[in-house]
Structure formats: structure tokens, C-alpha cells
Amino acid sequence: MDVLNFINGKYVPAQSGQWLDNFAPATGRLSGRIADSDETDVDMAFQAAKAAFPEWSAMSLDQRHDILRAVADGILARLDDLAHAESADSGKTITTARTVDIPRAALNFKFFATALLHFASESHHTPGSLSYTLRQPIGVVGCISPWNLPLYLFTWKIAPALAVGNCVIGKPSEVTPLTAMMLGEICQSAGMPPGVLNIVHGLGPKVGAAIVEHPGIKAISFTGSTRAGAEIARTAAPMFKKISLELGGKNPNLIFADCDYDTMLETSVRSSFNNQGQICLCGSRIYVEKSLYPKFKKDFVERVKEIRQGDPSDPENRLGAVVSKLHFDKVLSYIELARQEGGVVLTGGHALEMPGDLSGGWYIAPTVIEGLSTNCRTNQEEIFGPVVTIQPFEDEADALQNANNSPYGLSATLWTNNLQRAHRMAAELQAGIVWINTWMLRDLRTPFGGVKNSGMGREGGWDALRFFSETKNVSLELGGEEL
Ligand code: NAD
């Protein structure tokens, strides 16, 4: 299958005529070609978006709402097609794609379609003056997204950008482009005018960089690695573009002996390995209170060994393949590093041999490692795969010290039934999101994002709508007769 750009309402190849290979992680085989776009394609997309902007930004809120709601419905109407494409392209299980990725992509459109109707601004009065704030669309904006939750994270940016009245140039990951391509025709069928959403495919340092460098694209919303985020900031900052950067993570999962044990255990298995550990919010550093550590270690390893892994298209499987050969090699090299650093592999620690058609696929057994210090590379660097470390802690201060000893600060999970301790620690944890006795609980109205090397800016709710709008203050003196 050829993955084409979607520009001005039409599917077109890259102007250069060049292609990239696309692979299926489940089998390791070639599955198609992807348009290998460059700055020429970005400029074509920009011209289309610029031409579409006056009509889209001036459209009544009701009309824009109706189109974005119709996109949400269009995604749900094709749930099965999209879920199959997402699973085939990324190696995630069909169950994850069907129950998480695609419904959530629809929800992103539904949520921001409604939010735009309620987006209001402030006014400030004094006895003699009035100031009010306008929040206007920026114009043409760029949305660049990663491979781990392809359509889910792509729409998380595109929906609020469009809701405010901007036109968008979107770039999905070159590793998982299929569902983004399908989104083009869904938007068109929903009545979105040509040029409002344009999607260009290809390599990050080539077409992604061209979006960031384009002088007409005034805001960049990026989700991906800390390394690419830093490059984007280097280019965009001197051009005074608005940037929102959602970057890597190395999240702590802190478990106290007084927690609800069964819920904690079941959730910790999920928070470690869901989507093969390829969720930026996965808790990859597990710290357990010393008195509970032996029991936790035994039960956790037992539960991890029971996880059913294999063909991503089998709805019974809970784990599939990792996303690419490059990533497969990277994750295995970190397991090797962990061994060199003195880590003891309690389960997993190797690639999985699969039968038949799947024998060339990229499967890694869920891996639990103990015996490492917080300072070692395995615990400081993002692996982003099915690998967690476990480590005991002494007390609250020790737990906090370990949790915060990281260059990252995306999320943290805390398991305790001590209410005071929970809130005390939530305030001290260096993270943009803290979950207490739960994981991945998401309310789309809440701010989403990280601190330290996990990025800058917040997505979600009003934060996203504010990011994608330009703020203007209008002030006037009220005048009038002296009484
Ligand atoms: P990546 O940085 O390699 O690529 C992300 C996107 O950016 C892709 O579309 C890529 O083509 C593009 N890109 C790469 N270099 C670029 C450049 N120089 N200029 C412009 N665009 C560029 O990341 P990835 O490997 O696709 O995704 C995994 C990473 O994403 C992990 O670090 C993970 O933690 C992070 N992530 C973060 C969040 C979050 O919300 N904080 C969510 C999901 C994933």
C-alpha cells in the first residue's frame, strides 16, 4: 500500500517522487511505501492551509462544531478498519487499538468540538475603564506526533488546533503513518473544506524539520523524544514561534506497604507493560517499601510470566510486538546494559521466538530487573519498551529522593492509603501528572504535560485551546459625564 500526502483535499505522492519503506512489526516484512516528503510538499500544504484559513476561521462556532463532531462519528464508523490498520502498522494488539487508540481518537474530536462552544475569555473592569481579552486563531500551525499511540496523539493536537479556527499541517510518525492517512478522507466526508487539514508524511529531520523551519507556520505542537524536542526548540525559539513540547519520561511507581495490594498489583502490571511498555506514562522504575518488597517481587514476577503475548491480531493476546527493528535493537541493548550494570533479570530479558509468519517479527518478553541503583544508566535513560526495574526503599524521604532523581518529570504513581502522605508526596514529586492509587486516569479537561526533560507547555482542556490561539488585550476608557 502507498501512503500518500493529503494536501488541499487530495491524496498526492511526494513531489520528489521518493518513497520510504513501511514495515509490519508482527512479521518484520515490508508492508508498503510512504511518501518521502520534503520542504516542497510542506510549502504546498502551507499554501493550501493559508488559502483555507479565512473561511475556516470565520466559520460560525456551530458549523465548526458540527464538522468536528462529524469527524468523531466518522472515526467511530470506521473503528474496525482503523483498529486493524493501527495494529498492523505498530505491532500493538488489536484489542488495545480497538478499545483504547481509536475510541480515544474519536473522543478527542468530540471533546474539542464541544469545548470550542464554551471557550470564553476574561474581561477586567475598573470604575473608568474596561479591558477584555481576545483569543484569536494563530493561522497555520504544525502538529508533529510519535508512533506509540499514532492516531490517538495525532488527533489530540489536531482537534484543538482546528477547534480554535487554525488550519493545520500534521505530520505523523514515519513508522506508523496509516491511520493518519485514513483521517484525511474521514475529515473530508465530515464536510471539512479542502486545505483546512493537510497531512504530510516522511522523515522527522527532513519533512518534520521543514515544518518547524517554515516561516509561515507560527506554532508547533510536538510530541516525541527529548532529543528531537530540543532540536525543534533550537530552530523555533529564534523565530519566536509558539512551541509545546511533550517529551520523554522515566516514570516512578511508588508502592507503600499500606496500599490496596490487589488493585496495586494488577494496575502495576498494566502500567509497566501496556502497549509493550511504549506509553510515555508507563511506570518503568518501580520502588517498593522494604517490608513489602519480597512479597511484591514474587507476586509481580508471577503475574508478568502469565501475560499472554503473540500475534497482535489475536484479540486474546495482551502484548504484541515492539514497533520497529531499530526500537527492538535499542530495547535489547538496554537489557544487555542492565546486565552489565549488575542487574538481575527476574523474568524476560530476551527476544521471543515466534512460529511461522511471525518468526521475523519484533517480540520482546516483558522484563523485570532488580539489583540496580537509581543512578545507573538503565534507571536514568528512557528505554520505552517492556522493561521495568524494581528496587526497595526505606521510607517516604527515600522514596521521594529516588523518584525525583531523574532528568525526566512526566508522571508518577503513588500507592498508599495514608491520605496525608499521599498529598504531601504529590506536592513534592517532580512530575506534571501524579496518580494516587490509580494509573492513566484521564479527564480531558485537565492539564497534561511534563517538567524537566519531559517538556514544556500543557495539552488538554483550555490549555490546548489557549496554546492554539493568540491572546490580545483590548482596553478602553469608559469616559462619560462626571456625576
Ligand atoms: P521521535 O522524536 O523520534 O519522533 C516524533 C515525531 O517527530 C515523528 O513524527 C518524527 O518524524 C518527528 N521528528 C523527529 N525528528 C524531528 C526533527 N528534528 N524535527 C521535526 N520533527 C522531527 O519520537 P518517537 O520515537 O516517534 O516517539 C517516542 C518518544 O515520544 C518517546 O521519547 C516518548 O516518551 C515520547 N512520547 C511522549 C509523550 C508525551 O506526552 N510526553 C507521548 C508519547 C510519546
Q: What does the domain layout of the chain look like in residue ranges?
A: 2-247+454-473, 251-436
In the predicted structure, residue 481 carries a pLDDT above the cut 80:
no
SS3 per residue for 412-468: EEEECCCHHHHHHHHHHCCCCEEEECCCCCCCCCCCECCEECCEECCECHHHHHHHC
Q: Cα(294)–Cα(60) distance, rounded to whole angstroms? A: 61
Question: SS3 of 247, please?
Answer: coil
Query: Which residue's alpha carbon is nearest to atom 26 within ligand 1?
Result: 146
Determine contact, residues 264/292, Cβ cutoff 8 Å: no
Residue 406 Cα to ligand 1 midpoint, Å, equals 20
pLDDT grade, residue 371 (50/70/90)?
very high
Q: According to CATH, what is the number of the domain 2-247+454-473?
A: 3.40.605.10
Side chain identity, residue 294:
P
Q: Edge-to-edge strands of the sheet including 129-137?
A: 123-126, 129-137, 469-477
Q: Cα(440)–Cα(355) distance, rounded to whole angstroms? A: 33
**Pairing verdict, β 344-347 and 367-370:** antiparallel
Residue 150 Cα to ligand 1 midpoint, Å, equals 11
pLDDT grade, residue 480 (50/70/90)?
confident
Determine contact, residues 201/172, Cβ cutoff 8 Å: yes
Across the range 254-262, mean pLDDT stands at 98
Per-residue pLDDT, 20: 98
CA distances from 396 to 202, 256, 434, 474 (A): 47, 9, 16, 50
pLDDT grade, residue 190 (50/70/90)?
very high
What is the number of other CB atoms lying within 10 angstroms of the CB of residue 186? Answer: 23
Instruction: Supply 156's cell numbers.
Output: 489530540
What's the alpha-carbon Rg for the chain, to the nearest Å? 23
- For 415-448, how does the pLDDT look when each residue is reduced to its tens digit (9 = 90+)? 999 999 999 999 999 999 999 999 999 999 999 9
* Ligand 1 atom nearest residue 147's Cα: 26
Residue 167 annotated to the active site: no
Backbone angles phi, psi at 313, to 5 degrees: -85, -5
Contacts (Cβ under 8 Å, ≥6 apart) of 268:
253, 255, 283, 286, 300, 415, 439
Q: According to CATH, what is the number of the domain 251-436?
A: 3.40.309.10
Q: Which DSSP letter does residue 127 get?
A: T
In the predicted structure, residue 66 carries a pLDDT above the cut 80:
yes
Estimate the crossing angle of helix 102-118 against helix 150-164, to 10 degrees.
Answer: 20
Residue 339 Cα to ligand 1 midpoint, Å, equals 28
Of 187, 259, 280, 282, which residue is the catalytic one?
Answer: 280
Per-residue pLDDT, 482: 61
In the predicted structure, residue 80 carries a pLDDT above the cut 70:
yes
With CA atoms as reference, report the closest residue to 370 among 344, 350, 347, 337.
Answer: 344
* Ligand 1 atom nearest residue 211's Cα: 20
- For 301-327, how does the pLDDT look when each residue is reduced to its tens digit (9 = 90+)? 999 999 999 999 999 999 999 999 999
Q: What is the largest CA-CA distance in the chain?
A: 91
Per DSSP, what are the bridge partners of residue 126?
129
* Ligand 1 atom nearest residue 224's Cα: 30
Per-residue pLDDT, 483: 57
Determine contact, residues 385/331, Cβ cutoff 8 Å: yes
CA distances from 161 to 131, 141, 224, 407 (A): 26, 7, 18, 30
Residue 280 annotated to the active site: yes
pTM over 0.85: yes
Buried b (16+ CB within 10 A) or exposed e, 374-390: bebebbeebbbbbbbbb
With CA atoms as reference, report the closest residue to 247 among 382, 105, 388, 430.
Answer: 382
Determine contact, residues 403/417, Cβ cutoff 8 Å: no
Residues with CB under 6 A from ligand 1: 144-148, 153, 171, 173-174, 204-205, 208-209, 212, 223-225, 228, 231-232, 246-249, 280, 382, 384, 410, 450, 454-455
Q: Cα(332)–Cα(326) distance, rounded to whole angstroms? A: 10
Instruction: Supply 285's cell numbers.
Output: 522504575
In the predicted structure, residue 405 carries a pLDDT above the cut 90:
yes
